[in-house]
């Protein structure tokens, strides 16, 4: 393989370039959006069911089992509104809190959306504000943890 071909195959995604938007299910209009420096937990795990058949001594059958999703952790973020904290307050205060769908759009260096991850029925389970320091340049949200009920990969821009 020549060097020119290898250079063209380099990934166009940079994991630190993404936008996050929250929407009510079925609505195209974002309720809130923001930018975060880190996003971890885009993970789905399926635990297979093992079926041992009587009379067969060689191995067992593997069948699809329950899928579980990791908590998505967003770190060092900034939003223009207070909606994310209000949403968390509604959840921890016992009031009715609607679940939101989240979209994490990964961008190439030109700022074009290449891949979008979609999280279904998100619920905020932890909110951590940045430390208050008059000398520092801390951002507004240190961490936001989201439990969700589905992870999908949507085609890019």
Task: Please say whether the beta carbons of 139 and 78 come within 8 A.
Answer: yes
Query: Which domains does the chain possess?
Result: 10-154 (2.30.110)
Residue 116 tokens, joined: 């979008």
Cβ count near 128 (within 10 Å): 11
Sign of CA dihedral 53, 45, 91, 100: negative
Q: What is the pLDDT along the chain (157 residues), one digit of tens a residue?
A: 444 544 443 444 455 577 888 888 777 788 888 778 888 999 999 999 999 888 888 888 999 999 999 999 988 877 777 888 888 888 888 777 788 999 998 887 787 888 899 999 999 899 888 777 666 555 567 888 999 999 999 865 4
Burial of residue 28 (CB within 10 Å: 0-12, 13-18, 19+) is: exposed
Query: Global pTM?
Result: 0.76
Map tokens 């609607």 to a residue.
98
């Amino acid at each position: 393989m020549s060097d020119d071909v290898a250079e063209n195959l380099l990934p166009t995604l940079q994991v630190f370039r993404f936008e996050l938007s929250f929407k009510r299910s079925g609505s195209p209009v974002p309720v809130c959006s923001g930018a975060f420096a880190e996003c971890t937990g885009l993970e789905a795990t399926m635990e297979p069911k093992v079926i041992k058949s009587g009379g067969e001594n060689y191995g067992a059958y593997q069948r699809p089992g329950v899928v579980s999703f990791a908590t998505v952790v967003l770190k060092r973020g900034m939003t223009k509104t207070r909606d994310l904290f209000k949403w968390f307050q509604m959840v921890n205060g016992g009031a009715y809190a609607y679940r939101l769908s989240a979209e994490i759009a990964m961008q190439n260096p030109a700022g074009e959306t290449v891949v979008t991850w979609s999280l279904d029925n998100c619920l905020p389970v932890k909110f951590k504000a940045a430390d208050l320091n008059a000398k520092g340049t801390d951002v507004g949200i240190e961490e936001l943890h989201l439990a969700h009920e589905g992870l999908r990969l949507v085609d890019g821009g």
